[in-house]
Amino acid sequence: METNKVWFITGASRGMGLSLVKKLIIAGYNVAATSRKSQRLIDAVGHVEGPRFLPLEVDLTSEKSINEAFERTVAHFGKIDVLVNNAGYGIGGAVEELSQEEIKDSFEINVMAVIKTMQSAMPYFRQQKSGHIINISSIAGFAPGKGWAMYAATKYAVTGLSEVMAEDVKEFGVKVTVVAPGAFRTEFLEENSLVFAEKKIDGYTAVRSSHEKYAAMNGSQIGNPELLAQVFIDLVKNPNPPVRLYLGSDAYKRATEKVNLLSEELESNKYISYSTDFN
């Protein structure tokens, strides 16, 4: 039965992760979910009958903490079938405004945690010759917005990492999908999910305007997180899931515009590309 599958979801105490956990539990799946504070996760999910829900307090910057979470999950459920890397946060600012610590912290959660969880999951997936990894990138990982260079850098990394990972693990029967959502009506644009460079440099008016535009969008995003959660469930049922999946009409439109731009630039500079070949 599909509902015998065990899902492992990071960053599950709010937003997309929380919507997915709730929908999975209602549907009868087994769910292990992580948060920095397990009680916050328990409170957010609410009462769950039986052993189908395993809340885990995990430090995603710690390889040891991540490994222990997977060991506890397998000890509790007997296996893991799906890994969803949902944890992450937005970081805004011009490149010269961001400190090395701010940059390092964003890569630690948005990129390195994804790598660490995949490294922890793969031994189980290889042994059972099955599994599905879903990494949450962003439309910013393909068509980024002004003022979000470092966030785009982390999400580009997740996209590229996932594309190659999909090829590397295919022979083990493991599937990988990188999801690039547009704007969904979650807490992502609220203060607890966004970080801005502490240092502000005069003159970056376009960057400030971009940040103000995104802040004003909060609460009116076009994306429905409940529908997104169902897409994830359907994705895992799909015997041939896509490697790249853009979610939201806004993401689709931005991706289409970027594809057209890339095609135009490739063709207009084709003679330069060819000029570096040996004759």
19 CB burial (10 A radius; 0-12, 13-18, 19+): buried
Q: How far apart are CA 33 and CA 18, in angstroms?
A: 9
Instruction: Report helix angle 38-45 to 15-27, nearest 10.
Output: 60
Which one of 151, 204, 214, 246 is the catalytic residue? 151
d(CA 54, CA 175): 24
Note if 175 is an active site residue: no
Residue 80: closest CA among 69, 95, 92, 91: 69
- The length of the chain in residues reads 279
181 vs 250: CA distance, rounded Å: 9
Q: Which of 255, 103, 107 is nearest to 178 (CA)?
A: 255
**Residue 276: CB partners within 8 Å, gap ≥ 6?**
none
Q: Which of 22, 23, 116, 155 is catalytic?
A: 155
| Tokens of residue 114, six digits | 């994804």
Torsion of the alpha carbons at 86, 232, 226 and 19, rounded to the nearest 10:
-40
Beta-carbon count within 10 A of 130 CB? 15
Q: What H or E segment, with its residue span, contains residue 152?
A: helix 149-168
Among 137, 162, 204, 246, the active-site one is: 137
The question of whether 155 is a catalytic residue gets the answer: yes
* Residues designated as active site: 137, 151, 155
